[in-house]
């Protein structure tokens, strides 16, 4: 579709900064962001670049948990060494999620702006 029409919108510095912060976390251009909002779409932030790797790791740990549960049902006891290993892997993945997804308590200004978005 050829776009030939232009709209000028005046904003305060605060409104402009807020728009830029919201656009930044989506990875879209300002124009595309506004077009999507105007079309009624829910615009979401981009997942982190390592998102597929995190999902693979989570699935791997889940498969390990499943294998352990099969052993527990078959043998009738829990292998504590294996359970401790799984626990360490889950804790490590939790740390990676916190770092990658920026879930720490101290968030940057862009995150604060996005979170306050209605």
CA distance 36 to 28: 10
- Kindly report, residue by residue over 3-45, the tens digit of the pLDDT: 898 889 999 999 999 999 888 888 889 999 999 998 998 888 7
Domain locations along the chain: 13-46+108-115, 51-100
Residue 104 pLDDT? 40
Q: Does residue 54 come out as left (phi exceeding 0), alpha (psi in the -120 to 50 range) or beta?
A: alpha
Residue 45 pLDDT? 77
- Kindly report, residue by residue over 35-71, the tens digit of the pLDDT: 999 899 888 877 777 778 888 888 888 888 888 888 8
Q: Are 93 and 57 in contact (CB under 8 A)?
A: yes
Q: Are 19 and 11 in contact (CB under 8 A)?
A: yes
- What whole-number percentage of the chain has pLDDT above 90? 17
- Kindly report, residue by residue over 69-108, the tens digit of the pLDDT: 888 888 888 888 888 888 888 888 888 777 766 654 444 4
- What whole-number percentage of the chain has pLDDT above 70? 83
Give the residue with greater pLDDT, 111 vs 45: 45
Residue 41 pLDDT? 85
Residue 116 pLDDT? 58
């Amino acid at each position: 579709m050829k776009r030939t029409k232009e709209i000028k919108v005046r904003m305060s510095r605060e409104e402009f900064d807020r728009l830029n912060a919201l656009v930044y976390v989506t990875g879209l251009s300002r124009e595309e962001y506004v077009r999507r909002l105007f079309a009624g779409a829910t615009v979401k932030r981009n997942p982190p670049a390592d998102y597929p790797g995190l999902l693979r790791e989570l699935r791997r740990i889940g498969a390990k948990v499943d294998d352990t549960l099969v052993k527990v049902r078959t043998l009738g006891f829990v292998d504590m060494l294996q359970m401790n290993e799984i626990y360490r892997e889950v804790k490590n993945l939790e740390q990676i999620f916190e770092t990658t997804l920026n879930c720490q308590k101290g968030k940057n200004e862009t995150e604060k702006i996005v979170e306050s978005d209605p």
